[in-house]
Every structure is written in structure tokens, then in C-alpha cells.
Amino acid sequence: MRKHFLSSVAFLLILVVLLAALSPVFRPKNNTAEAGTQDVQADGILGEPENTIDVLFLGNSEAYCSFIPMEIWKEHGITSYVCSTPAQRMYQSVEYLRSVFRTQRPQIVVVMALAICWDYSPVEVVTKMTGEWLPVVRYHDRWKSLQAEDFYKPVRYTHVEADKGYRLYRESRAADTTEYMEPTDAVERLPSKNVRRLEIIHRLCQEHGAQLVLVSVPSTYNWNGRRHNAMTALAESMGIAYLDLNCMQQEVPIDWEMDTWDEGDHLNFTGAKKVTAFMGEWLEDTGLFEDKRSQEAYSQWNVFLQDYLASEASE
């Protein structure tokens, strides 16, 4: 029995070593779809020049449907990036933040509060994180397209996203606002694992000189009084700012007949412009940022802005 156990352990160790040795080969050598990158919009931040991003948005699809970095640049000269992916879990947000801090020094990190409410299984974490630690597991399909240079070429991220992670949706499908954000004393119970990971994010921000902000964007599908109460209490206990835009109808006047593309789950372009207008003003009011619109080092942002304005006008 003991001999069988030791043989199994030895086999697993050899397998892990083999996978670790193959991982540099299978890891995409650039942050493009052609190179094999799976989350091109989010990973576009890896190609941004070092220390040029002022504000980082982390989270799920609520983020990439709600914040328009080009609008913030146009109005305030503040650089921002939406580093979000569909159904992004808190443990994934931690890893994205670690990755971003290797090359960027954002002064504010905005985390979508919704992910703190989502539970998940240990199996999901192990599966996802194994892919992060051993890229050969995550990118195993790349064996079909491997070339000789994959065995020696270093990783070099060159791709930048013109929209800085924002995804535009113009469709409009009205939401049902019945019971939306009705006052209550009830408090939703948050998974402790997510609270712990938010604490890790908070610590990482402190270590890198960034301010952590929790934000809930308008969503009749995802937000209610119970969740608002839970997030308010959590933010107060950690001493961090919490902006629940679901409770700011005057500041963010969402029209639930027109400003959502999927019946209240996510905002469309008109809704995102309202959220972004508020967020841009809030960021400027912090006094942390200088207007970079006239700086030569950020001239590419003005080029992307013209593309964004042309696209907006053509619709």
C-alpha cells in the first residue's frame, strides 16, 4: 500500500514538472487572439506603456458594459482601463490585479461589488488557477498551432485596445423595475471566501499606493436592498469607499425603458454614458489626477479618441 502511494506521488510530481517545463512553450507570446490569448480585451492592458494607467476597473461584464474609458479621457484627461471578463470571480480579480501591478501604478482600483456576492466551488478555483499557474493546461489547444519560435521566443505584449476594455451594446430592451431597490433592513450573507479575497485586493492596493473603491452599477437584475446593505456594511468595516449607483437616480438618471440592452441585467451605450459621466466627475473630484490630454506621451489616446468619436457619430 505504501509503495503504491509513493509511486502515485512520484508520478504526480513528474507530471507537474513536465507540465511546468512545457508551460513556457504553450504560453501565448503576445496578448493577441492570433497568439492564442483568450481574453483579448482585458489582456490589452498588458500592452499599455508602463505606468500610464490612472484608474483600473476590475470585475465582471457589469464593468465592461458600464465604463467608457474614452469618455473619461475626453472629458477629464484621465487614463483608465476596464480589465473585466464575463462572470469574473474574486479570485480571478486578485490575479488580474497582481498582473497589472507588475507594469502599472493606478492610483484608484475600482472593483465591481457584484462578484463579492457570487459563490463558487473549490473545484472551480483549482481548475481555473491551475490554468494560471500551469499555462499548458489553459492553452493546451495551442499544440495545433505551435511553431518553432514558441520554444525560444520571449513573451512580449504589444497589442493595445482602442476601447480600453469597454464593449459597446446599442440594443435596447426595457427592464422590469418591480421591487427594484426597495428599502429593507435585511442583509445578504456574503461568502467569506470573497471577503477574504477583497481583503487581499485591499492589501495589494495599499502596498502599491492605490486607493480601493467598491462600485455597484445600475442593474435591476442584480441589485436590491439586501445586497446594498451588505456592501455598505462591508465597506464601512474595511474603511473603503462604496458607490452604489443603484441608489443615485438623480446623479445617474438611468431610464430603464431605454438604457439597458438585456432587460436590466447590463447597461447599453446610453446607460454607460450616464454612469461614465458620473464616474469621471467623481474621479476628477478626488484631486488625484492631472489632465494629460495635451501631453505628448499620451498622444495615442487622442488618436483612439478620434476613432471613438467617429464610431459614435456613424451610428
The domains located in the chain, with CATH, are: 35-286+297-314 (3.40.50.1110)
pLDDT of 110: 98
Rounded Cα gap, residues 35 and 125, in angstroms: 25
Task: Give me the amino acid identity at 123.
Answer: V
* pLDDT at residue number 33: 77
CA-CA distance, 262 to 172, in Å (whole number)?
Answer: 7
Can you tell me the distance from the alpha carbon of 113 to that of 306, in angstroms, rounded to the nearest whole number?
32
Helix 122-133, helix 90-101: angle, nearest 10? 20
Q: What is the pLDDT along the chain (315 residues), one digit of tens a residue?
A: 555 555 554 545 554 445 454 445 445 656 787 767 778 999 999 999 999 999 999 999 999 999 999 999 999 999 999 999 999 999 999 999 999 999 999 999 999 999 999 998 876 666 555 545 555 445 545 544 556 555 546 767 889 999 999 999 999 999 999 999 999 999 999 999 999 999 999 999 999 999 999 999 999 999 999 999 999 999 999 999 999 999 999 999 999 999 999 999 999 999 999 999 999 999 999 999 999 999 999 999 999 999 999 987 765
- Vertex 47 angle, CA 46 and 52, to 5°: 85
Residue 157 is predicted with a pLDDT of 85
Which residues neighbour 262 within 8 Å (Cβ) at sequence distance 6 or greater? 171, 173
Predicted local distance difference test score (pLDDT) of residue 252: 98
Task: Tell me the C-alpha to C-alpha distance, in Å, between residue 150 and each of 37, 43, 99, 153.
Answer: 14, 19, 22, 6
C-alpha span between 48 and 129 (Å, rounded): 25
Q: For the chain, how many residues are written?
A: 315
Identify the pLDDT of residue 212.
98
Radius of gyration of the chain (CA): 21
HEC string of the chain equals CHHHHHHHHHHHHHHHHHHHHHHHHHCCCCCCCCCCCCCHHHHHHHHCCCCCCCEEEEECHHHHHHCCHHHHHHHHCCCEEEEECCCCCHHHHHHHHHHHHCCCCCCEEEEEHHHHHCCCCHHHHHHHHHHHHCHHHHCHHHHHCCCHHHHCCCCCCCCCCCCCCCCCCCCCCCCCCCCCCCCCCCCCCCCHHHHHHHHHHHHHHHHCCCEEEEEECCCCCCCCHHHHHHHHHHHHHHCCEEEEHHHCCCCCCCCCCCCECCCCCCECHHHHHHHHHHHHHHHHHCCCCCCCCCCHHHHHHHHHHHHHHHHHHHC
Q: Which three cell numbers stand for residue 140?
A: 493546451
Whole-structure pTM value:
0.86
